Amino acid sequence: MNTDNDTHTTATVAANDPLEAPPGQQAELPHVPVQADTWQRKATLTLAALGVVYGDIGTSPLYAVRQSALAAGEHIAIQSAIMGVVSLIVWSLIIVVTLKYVLLIMRADNDGEGGILALASLAHRTQGLDRRVKVAIGTAAILGLALFFGDGMLTPAISVLSAVEGLSVESKTFEPLVVPLSLAILIGLFVIQSRGTARVGRLFGPVMVLWFIVIGALGFVAIIRTPHILWALSPYYGLLLFVREPWTAFVSLGSVVLAVTGCETLYADMGHFGKFPIRIAWLAFVFPALVLNYFGQGAALLRDPSKADVAFYAVAPHWAHYPLVFLATIAAIIASQAVISGVYSITRQAVQLGQLPRMEIRHTSATDYGQIYVPRMNAYLCTGVVLIVLIFKSSNALATAYGIAVTGIMVLSTVLVGIVAVRQWHWKMRVVIPVFGLLALIDLAFLSSNALKISEGGWLPLFIAAFVYVVMETWRLGRRAHLDRIRNESMPLELFLERAEKTPVRVAGTAVFLTARADAVPSALLHNLKHNKVLHERVIVVQVMVDDTPFVPPDKRIEVEKLGKGFFSVHIHHGFFETPDVPHALTEARPYGLAVDPETTTFFIGRETLVPADNPVLGRWRTWLYMQLASNALSPVRFYHLPPNRVVELGTQITI
């Protein structure tokens, strides 16, 4: 197949639907030097995790108590509302973040990596699953990715808006500047992405340490003044809210969940920092600081309920207000950067697994593999964030839209981890049902409460997720139809080899043809033979496959099969966290009896022109969308790192 031209045709077509791909070899993460196990190394990773992993959830105090107290205080006495929502927030941190994510879900690592896509791949790899269950897992992966992209646009907007709005607390004269200043900060943040964040990233940890110390200290001082708030540590007050005003309590859950936004980041960034640094940072530092601040905000509101709309700044003395605004803005920028980097990472995974068209992925650091920049996604994110700020104009309005994407991912994560617990951890059903039943009930309660806000702004993340889902599903279905068409029109490689000896001329040199199917002749090879009437002395048919593991160890990277008559079949394996590099992989084929010098090798790729059929399989609008996605995909020359001066492109027309 002419995947040479196509996207993933090589890197993903081995598994048109990545989650339908046959399980690859269990990838082993590169071994870390022995000193990595020292306490100094762990302390360094813990500090880095504070800056990257906890930026989002660490800035939730800017708006979580405010929105929750306002939602509950509209219908019941403000004192009861404050005690109830603070209790609900603290217990959400305990159950959802600590028990579910930190202690439970982080056990479900895919060869050390986490995140909704890695989790779906892990669950899909389970032996003995029904075909329908595997399809459902694949759908959940795409849906989770779509929701994550929606969350990636909302988090920078609400975090920066909430911080900058602190200017108008002291004086309303600053209020007209909130939106312009927020836009300037956000646009500037996206502009500097192309330069990489390695240097700035070194400051993230210390700044967030200062942030957590400050908010924890402010909360502690407020608690000292009103220690009565500590009674909210008992779940009794949260449950009492449901007993006295069940509907009001249910509605307030849509705001309470704002306190746990960012919990998915803990799991998604597990591969970068490891379980221990993330867990110790949460248990020993972040969790205590957040609890102190939430209790402190509750204490401040018990003293003066009229400050509910500025709950975060109510804990600070007058002289510290503007310094706190400055620090909050820096923390919000860090939180935004962490989410943006997460979107880049998940985009790379989606591209590698064939869920999205090829995109340019730049590595901005020579030492940090996780430092990447995706120009196209950066432009999409920047445009989306700017539009969101212009549409909603305030964090209060935006808070109604925030949460539904996060709760959707939470539900999907619980279901997928439940599958892993039953089929891979071999947990007994008498344990699985109560544990995951309770977690699913909590997640669904949060999701249902947020669903009430769809008309008020919750439609936005759903719209973004629906759009991304349609694009990804169209790409997946389009690739399948595309590959089916190519397969039907291809000649079996075995038949071609039988006729190869009748070829009039064999010229010196090595030719490499990329293909999605190792058993079929690449169309570029047939076109070269048809027009040039020659074959090279050595013809290498290369199939690049992305396994459903994050990394593939070097000894499992390449497979070589001698087909005779100068033909070789090569399978190159990559993990979904790796960047395909065909020339480099071919240089590692020497131990297998195949010596390749990329500088003297000719790479043939096909440039396909897609034409809609009279009755397209996908329907007219989806066929049009797929053709647009395919035409805008990154050139395979750049995606597979082929040497441009050694590439020959041969055109062909495909009707789909």
What the block records as the tokens of 162 is: 């909430």
What the block records as the tokens of 155 is: 């988090």
Q: Which of 450, 394, 440 is nearest to 68 (CA)?
A: 450
User: Is pLDDT larger for residue 304 or for residue 607?
Assistant: 304
- Please check whether residue 9 lies inside any domain of the structure: no
| Residues 516 and 415 reside in one and the same domain | no
- Please check whether residue 521 lies inside any domain of the structure: yes
| pLDDT tens for each residue of 142-151 | 898 888 888 8
- Please check whether residue 470 lies inside any domain of the structure: no
Rounded Cα gap, residues 643 and 599, in angstroms? 8
For residue 15, what pLDDT band results from cuts at 50, 70 and 90?
A: very low
Give the model's pLDDT for residue 214.
96
Give the model's pLDDT for residue 25.
34
Cβ neighbours for 53, distance < 8 A, ≥ 6 positions apart: 265, 266, 269, 273, 278, 281, 338
The count of domains in the chain is: 2
Give the model's pLDDT for residue 6.
38
With a cut of 50, say whether residue 428 has pLDDT above it.
Answer: yes
- Please check whether residue 479 lies inside any domain of the structure: no
DSSP type of residue 94: I
What the block records as the tokens of 544 is: 């690049």
Rounded Cα gap, residues 156 and 135, in angstroms? 33
Rounded Cα gap, residues 160 and 186, in angstroms? 8
593, 639 in Cβ contact below 8 A?
no
277, 46 in Cβ contact below 8 A?
yes
With a cut of 50, say whether residue 24 has pLDDT above it.
Answer: no
Instruction: State the sign of the Cα–Cα–Cα–Cα dihedral 47, 50, 53, 55.
Output: negative
| Residues 584 and 518 reside in one and the same domain | yes
197, 341 in Cβ contact below 8 A?
yes
Give the model's pLDDT for residue 365.
62
| Residues 412 and 527 reside in one and the same domain | no
413, 116 in Cβ contact below 8 A?
yes
399, 258 in Cβ contact below 8 A?
yes
Any idea what the CATH number is for the domain that residue 221 is in?
Answer: 1.20.1740.10
- Please check whether residue 467 lies inside any domain of the structure: no
With a cut of 50, say whether residue 155 has pLDDT above it.
Answer: yes
With a cut of 50, say whether residue 20 has pLDDT above it.
Answer: no
Rounded Cα gap, residues 485 and 492, in angstroms? 14
Tell me the residue range of the domain where 105 lies.
32-452
| Residues 303 and 387 reside in one and the same domain | yes
pTM: 0.82
The residue from 408, 430, 452 where one domain ends is: 452
278, 55 in Cβ contact below 8 A?
no
b or e along 179-213 (b: 16 or more beta carbons within 10 Å of the residue's beta carbon)? bebbbebbeebbeebeebbeeebeebbebbbebbe
Q: At CA 582, angle to CA 578 and CA 587, rounded to 5?
A: 110
With a cut of 70, say whether residue 19 has pLDDT above it.
Answer: no
Q: Which of 580, 480, 656, 474 is nearest to 16 (CA)?
A: 480
Rounded Cα gap, residues 566 and 508, in angstroms? 11
How are beta strands 601-611 and 506-514 bridged, if at all?
parallel
Three-state DSSP class for residue 602: strand
| Residues 132 and 203 reside in one and the same domain | yes
Q: At CA 322, angle to CA 316 and CA 327, rounded to 5?
A: 85
Q: Which of 369, 363, 362, 372 is nearest to 30 (CA)?
A: 369
Q: Which of 105, 65, 102, 439 is nearest to 285 (CA)?
A: 102
Rounded Cα gap, residues 573 and 26, in angstroms? 12
The torsion of the CA quartet 109, 115, 116, 122, rounded to 10 degrees, works out to -20
| Residues 42 and 186 reside in one and the same domain | yes
With a cut of 90, say whether residue 98 has pLDDT above it.
Answer: yes
- Please check whether residue 314 lies inside any domain of the structure: yes
With pLDDT > 90 as the criterion, what percentage of the chain qualifies? 41
| Residues 136 and 182 reside in one and the same domain | yes
Give the model's pLDDT for residue 527.
85
| Residues 370 and 494 reside in one and the same domain | no
With a cut of 90, say whether residue 93 has pLDDT above it.
Answer: yes
Three-state DSSP class for residue 486: helix
What the block records as the tokens of 613 is: 């059929």
User: Is pLDDT larger for residue 280 or for residue 22?
Assistant: 280
Rounded Cα gap, residues 163 and 62, in angstroms? 7
- Please check whether residue 457 lies inside any domain of the structure: no
| pLDDT tens for each residue of 546-581 | 887 888 888 889 999 998 888 999 999 988 888 889
Give the model's pLDDT for residue 69.
86
| Residues 223 and 327 reside in one and the same domain | yes
Q: In angstroms, what CA-CA distances link 364 with 176, 340, 367, 368, 457?
A: 37, 14, 9, 8, 36
Task: Give the distance between the most distant pair of CA atoms in the chain.
Answer: 94
| pLDDT tens for each residue of 257-296 | 999 988 888 888 787 778 888 999 999 999 999 999 999 9
Rounded Cα gap, residues 581 and 579, in angstroms? 6
Three-state DSSP class for residue 425: coil
- Please check whether residue 458 lies inside any domain of the structure: no
118, 550 in Cβ contact below 8 A?
yes
Q: Which helix (H) or strand (E) holds 389?
A: helix 375-392
The residue from 452, 475, 510 where one domain ends is: 452
Rounded Cα gap, residues 63 and 69, in angstroms? 10
The residue from 452, 468, 503 where one domain ends is: 452
Give the model's pLDDT for residue 201.
61
The average pLDDT across 601-612 equals 88
| Residues 448 and 502 reside in one and the same domain | no
Give the model's pLDDT for residue 368.
55
Cβ neighbours for 307, distance < 8 A, ≥ 6 positions apart: 300, 301, 314
Rounded Cα gap, residues 261 and 380, in angstroms? 22
| Residues 434 and 294 reside in one and the same domain | yes
| Residues 427 and 536 reside in one and the same domain | no
With a cut of 50, say whether residue 32 has pLDDT above it.
Answer: no
b or e along 620-644 (b: 16 or more beta carbons within 10 Å of the residue's beta carbon)? eebbebbbebbeebbbbbebbebee
Q: What is the mean pLDDT of the chain?
A: 85
Give the model's pLDDT for residue 204.
82
